Amino acid sequence: MIERLKEIWLDAKQMRDERGLTLIELLVVVVILGIIAAIAVVAIGGLIENSRKDAVVSDAKQLVAAAKLYTSSNPVQPGETVKVGVNSNNTAISANTVSKGTEATPRTDSLKKYIDDMKDALNSDADYKDSYVVITESNGTYTYAVTLTSKSADYTYFAAAAPSALKRSAVKEKE
């Protein structure tokens, strides 16, 4: 019995020596968690920004693909320039009566039947001010030049850019 009381006494004494986290240890844990959270927020913010830029590039590539579909059903005459797209200077592009387009007055047509509505991912999903492709025929080869301009920030993401220049690094936001 005395042995049992000694064991209980030693256990009770040991329990008094075992304490929980001190205030400083708890503070260190909170600071470490705060640093990890700050790093995560910055990393996620960059991913979101890159995905928005990728959406703008995707829209530009979609315009080129639609223009290629257009030229497969509506061949461009030798030496002709054609402007096809959705908007030009906030106005919907429609077919004009020019029989053979030149650089000064290109033949125009809408890509609405080849492409869905596009929204500017970098500017609250507003419509683009300009979203068109200029197609030029030269010696049996078509050249495509994409123009994509933001409506809300009035900024040109791509101005007469070749399809090979449509990259995320080329998309610059207005500062």
> What is the model's pLDDT at position 61?
93
Rounded distance between C-alpha atoms, residue 58 and residue 71, angstroms: 20
Paired tokens of 2: 């005395």
pTM score above 0.85:
no
For 129, counting Cβ atoms within 10 Å of its Cβ (0-12 exposed, 13-18 middle, 19+ buried), the class is buried
159 SS3 class: strand
User: What number is the average pLDDT over the span 156-165?
Assistant: 87
Between 63 and 3, the more confident residue is: 63
> What is the model's pLDDT at position 16?
57
Asked if the model's pLDDT at residue 6 lies above 80, the reply is no
The closest alpha carbon to 85, from 73, 98, 67, 68, belongs to 67
The closest alpha carbon to 83, from 99, 65, 67, 69, belongs to 67
